[in-house]
Structure 1
Amino acid sequence: MYAFFKTLHILGLVLMLGNVTVTALWKVFADRSCKTQIMSFSQWLVTVTDFSFTLPGGFLMVIGGLGAAYFGGWSLTTPWLLVGQIMMGIAGGVWLGILVPIQIKQAAWARDFAITGEVPAAYRKASATWLVWGLLSTVPLGIGMWVMVAKPQLW
């Protein structure tokens, strides 16, 4: 059972971390194209991929991690597990508290400018904010990944 849950945990990480990094890349290129149809489609895909990969990936990471900890005989207060959980919480908090609200606003703007052909300055400003916070949210995911692999003696 340990191997099963660890596999779910790793699959969740691959889905989540893979999606957040690739999404940022193609969204930046779509926005830089200045082609409203491409930008609008890209913004729609941000939502689709978040619900198809990021959200299920996070779910698998949590369920897999809890199951692996249980069947591996580790307490959730083991330092490296605790740090991993905190890092996941930080990344999830940024995603839910900052990135998703920006994406909702951008999706509305994108629907409009796909028709009008005029991208509002607020969309571009929100894109820059989304990119910065999105990149910052990958840092705790990377730290969490490292502590899960290295299992360092932290205290």
Structure 2
Amino acid sequence: MYEFFKGVHILGLILMVGNVTVTAFWKVFADRTCKTQIVAFAQWLVTVTDFTFTLTGGMLMVIGGYGAALSGHIPLFSTPWLAYGQLMLGVSGAIWVGVLVPIQIRQAGAARDFAIIGDVPASYKKDSFTWLIWGLISTVPLTLGLYFMVAKPSF
């Protein structure tokens, strides 16, 4: 069972980190066009892919990680690398839920409006910049968590 859960955990990581990385990349390029329909479609895709791949990937990471730890008899909170990995996922998740999702919701509403009206407002551009910066910040703990899971450093 340990190998099964570890596989689920790794699949979740691939979905989550892959989506986070690729979404930011193509959203930046879509926003740079300033073409309202392209920007609006990209924003819609950010929402769809975040809830499809980031959320699903995160859930698979948690289920697979806890399942692997429990079936492998690895203490969840007293194993340093595992505790730090969980903390990093929690920090990244808090940024996603507390900062990124509210911005995405606000941008989705704005994008529906400007796709019809015509101009990308300055407030949307400001939100895009804030979303990008906080998105990059949120990948730091994910990367650290990946390091802790692979290197399993002893502290």
What TM-score do the two structures reach when normalised by structure 1?
Answer: 0.98
2:132 is aligned to: 131
Shift of 1:106: 0.2
The residue that corresponds to 2:84 in the other structure is 83
Is 1:50 the equivalent of 2:50?
A: yes
Partner of 1:37: 37
Tell me by how many angstroms 1:51 deviates.
Answer: 1.1
Gaps of 5+ in 2: none
CA distance in 2, matches of 1:34, 1:104: 19
Counterpart residue number, 1:98: 99
Which residue of 2 is the match for residue 118 of structure 1?
Answer: 119
Please identify runs of 4+ aligned residues in structure 1 that moved more than 3 A: none
Deviation at 1:71, TM superposition (A): 1.1
Query: Could you tell me how far apart the structure 1 residues matched to 2:143 and 2:118 are?
Result: 38
Q: Aligned-pair distance for 1:72?
A: 1.2
Residues in 2 aligned to 1:51 and 1:98: alpha-carbon distance in whole angstroms = 15
**Distance (Å, rounded) in 1 between the aligned partners of 2:127 and 2:24:** 13
**What is the CA-CA distance between 1:120 and the residue it aligns to?**
1.0
Q: C-alpha separation between the residues in 2 aligned to 1:70 and 1:52?
A: 27
Quote the offset at 1:50 in angstroms.
0.7
Q: 1:48-93 deviations in whole A, cap 9, x for unaligned?
A: 0011100000000000000000111110121000000000000000
Match of 1:70 in 2: 70
State the one-letter code of the partner of 1:93: A
| Paired residue total | 154
User: What is the distance in 2 between the residues matched to 1:94 and 1:85?
Assistant: 14
Residue type of the partner of 1:28? V
**Offset of residue 119 of structure 1:** 1.1
Structure 1: distance between partners of 2:123 and 2:34:
15
- Aligned-residue sequence identity (percent) comes to 69
Given the alignment of the two structures, is residue 4 of structure 1 paired with residue 18 of structure 2, yes or no?
no
Take 1:8 and 1:139, find their aligned partners in 2: how far apart are those partners? Answer: 22
Q: Distance in 1 between matches of 2:91 and 2:153?
A: 20
Q: 1:25 offset after TM fit, Å? A: 0.3
Q: Unpaired segments of 5 or more residues in structure 1?
A: none
